[in-house]
Amino acid sequence: MPLIDENVRSVGREVRELARLHRELAQAGVLLEYDTFHRPKYDPEATLWPLIERMAAAGLDGAVALATDMADPALWAYGGGPGPASLPGSIRSRLQALGLPPETITGMLGYNVATRLAVPAETLSDQETER
């Protein structure tokens, strides 16, 4: 049993350290993508979900983008995995169960990325004028 307790303490410490780093990165303007929901080797219950909660609690949810790493064919629905529908399905449901506001959930599930990719029209015309 001591080994398990030590592992739990170690994971907790890692999450705290990651959260500190991610807060600093988010405050510097970095968009952080979390995509290991379906990767057991990364233990998303002990690492990813607490990290999402910490970022939201710190008011940094605008710097978080959620995705699913579907590079492994075994993760696709036809291969018996969760499939890409898990993002708007089970992941959204879990975020709702955490009590996150709808605008936070919408942001994490795509809006945060879209706003980073959107370029105001005046910026485009300024760039064209400079050429």
3-23 pLDDT, tens per residue?
A: 333 444 445 677 788 889 999
pTM attached to this predicted model:
0.74
Name the 3-class secondary structure at 23.
helix
Residues 61/67, Cβ–Cβ less than 8 Å? no
For domain 2-118, is the CATH number 3.40.1440.60? Answer: no
Q: Which residue has the higher pLDDT, 39 or 94?
A: 94
The rounded percent of the chain whose pLDDT value lies above 70 is: 69
Write out pLDDT tens, residues 14-66: 778 888 999 999 999 999 999 888 777 888 888 889 999 999 999 999 999 99
| pLDDT exceeds cutoff 60 at 87 | yes
What's the angle, vertex CA 110, arms to CA 104 and CA 114, rounded to 5? 110
65 strand-pairing partners: 33
